């Protein structure tokens, strides 16, 4: 299965301090949000500032895609939130 971040849908920081992005799984796409806490705990974000979250997201993209693949649900109505618990389960 081919899993990658949709380049046409750039990652952005939401009002609730998550980084939202869209992942393509072969022919399907799903929106995910990574919490600031997960980015700080597992991806090395220095703070909750927008630039720090985006830099940590880009640096840890491979690990984030592993977690997204684990949590895929294909319910396009709402984004799937990836939080500290998912990262703890998949990466440790």
Which contacts (CB < 8 Å, 24+ apart) does range 20-26 have?
A: 20/79, 21/57, 23/65, 23/68, 23/69, 23/72, 25/1, 25/69, 25/72, 26/1, 26/2
Average pLDDT of the residues of the chain: 89
Instruction: Report pTM.
Output: 0.85
* DSSP-derived secondary structure letter, 15: T
> What share of the chain has pLDDT > 70, as a percent?
96
């Amino acid at each position: 299965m081919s899993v990658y971040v949709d380049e046409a849908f750039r990652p952005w920081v939401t009002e609730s301090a998550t980084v939202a992005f869209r992942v393509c799984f072969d022919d399907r796409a799903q929106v995910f949000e990574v919490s600031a806490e997960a980015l700080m705990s597992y991806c090395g974000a220095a703070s909750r500032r927008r630039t720090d979250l985006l830099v940590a997201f880009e640096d840890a993209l491979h690990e984030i895609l592993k977690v997204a693949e684990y949590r895929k649900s294909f319910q396009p109505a709402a984004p799937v939130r990836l939080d500290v618990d998912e990262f703890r389960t998949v990466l440790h």
